Amino acid sequence: MGRSPCCDKVGLKKGPWTPEEDQKLLAYIEEHGHGSWRALPAKAGLQRCGKSCRLRWTNYLRPDIKRGKFSLQEEQTIIQLHALLGNRWSAIATHLPKRTDNEIKNYWNTHLKKRLAKMGIDPVTHKPKNDALLSIDGQSKNAANLSHMAQWESARLEAEARLVRESKIRSHSLQHHPSNNSGFASSTSAPIMNKPEAPIPLPPRSLDVLKAWNGGWLRSIDQSNGGIGGDLESPTSTLTFSENAPPIMTSALGENTMPMIEFVGTSGTSEAGIVKDKDDRDWKSYEYKEEIQNPLSYTSNLNHMTWTAESLRTGVHVGNVMAEEGFTNLLLNNSYDRSFSDCGGDSDNGGGDGSGSGSDYYEDNKNYWNSILNLVNSSPPDSPMF
């Protein structure tokens, strides 16, 4: 209830830690574990408060911490999860192995937030700040409606995901049956920090609304692309599902075909060949190529809209550097692929109306939230996401 008094004691050292202090803390925890943080400083011979020791350990000294640049996958994950969770850094951190909430928070505040803002994305809402510009050809109403839909879907997603999580927890005790593990067991889903021994979770029992939702748009992609496996695969995530069937969980427990994101590692290099240390260059290059010439395009793409200022005027998708590389492409790989095919005049986008931008917008919003949903689905059962 009350505020912690632990740091009120006079004579306790504050400020940067010295190597000697680090060594003392490290040595003590390695030998005894941290136990009670309050009692630790005295036992370890440190003139620090327990809180300071805990922070030093969790944010710096812990052996399972990865330091250095964030990969594109990590950036993508942070942005997606931030769109869903807001500033719940500890929850986000559970999906970024070896990263601390503090580090993620710092990275968001010093890099990602600024970049999004610079591109006209509201870092809080993850929506374009210049929605007004979409009023061309009367699209603004559409955009507003879809924005509300996205908000509604967000809220609904949270509720669904909460149920899923509860379901996972409930079924946790039942998952000792070998067959129950099949779906998740092959996944390299996000490791659970500090809990490497955690059992592999079961697939969610039901997500009926989401299944339908998934099924609807994924089927449409399947039809238009002649198979979605390759197109949906991103360097960050791997959707796994049966080869020819839509990636819908067709039955309850034990017969999982739920599409899952596999986190394929966040080390310095990506299996997909993504270069990690070029984020700034990539972003800047996009800004240069796209934002200056076509300020709407980047903004729109980041929000899973495939419109550009040009396409809004003409209905034709203009050249898109996103096809080549970069974070946004990773983030939005689904929408890009499809939008590209749509722009060729192919009305077979699964929506059936073939009306172009409006359905694109809706489909792309679905992609965006689906990608987040996949994160939710792949979250560890004890994830504090909800």
Partner DNA sequence: AAACATCGCAACCGCGTAAGG
Partner DNA sequence: TCCTTACGCGGTTGCGATGTT
- Interface residues with DNA (CB under 7 A) are 1-7, 13-17, 36-38, 48, 50-52, 54-56, 59-60, 67, 87-91, 101-103, 105-107, 109-111, 114, 384
We find the least distance from the C-beta atom of residue 131 to DNA, in angstroms, to be 24
d(CA 257, CA 122): 35
Sign of CA dihedral 286, 288, 289, 294: positive
Q: Of 40 and 210, which CB lies nearer to DNA in the complex structure? A: 40
We find the least distance from the C-beta atom of residue 21 to DNA, in angstroms, to be 8
| Number of C-beta neighbours around residue 194 at 10 A | 11
Contact between 69 and 76 (Cβ < 8 Å) = no
Q: Which residues pair with 240 in a beta bridge?
A: 260
We find the least distance from the C-beta atom of residue 15 to DNA, in angstroms, to be 5
We find the least distance from the C-beta atom of residue 88 to DNA, in angstroms, to be 3
The amino acid at 11: G
Comparing CA positions, the residue from 323, 259, 224, 263 lying closest to residue 78 is 263
d(CA 383, CA 373): 14
Q: Of 65 and 343, which CB lies nearer to DNA in the complex structure? A: 65
Q: Of 90 and 223, which CB lies nearer to DNA in the complex structure? A: 90
We find the least distance from the C-beta atom of residue 65 to DNA, in angstroms, to be 9
Q: Of 102 and 130, which CB lies nearer to DNA in the complex structure? A: 102
- C-alpha pair distances (Å), 114 with each of 69, 107, 109, 326: 17, 10, 7, 17
Q: Of 3 and 176, which CB lies nearer to DNA in the complex structure? A: 3
d(CA 165, CA 161): 6
Strand segments (E) across the chain: 121-122, 127-128
Q: Of 4 and 314, which CB lies nearer to DNA in the complex structure? A: 4
Q: Of 16 and 196, which CB lies nearer to DNA in the complex structure? A: 16
The amino acid at 43: K
We find the least distance from the C-beta atom of residue 286 to DNA, in angstroms, to be 17
We find the least distance from the C-beta atom of residue 43 to DNA, in angstroms, to be 12
DSSP per residue, 15-70: SSPPHHHHHHHHHHHHHH----TTTHHHHHT-SS-HHHHHHHIIIII-TT---SPP
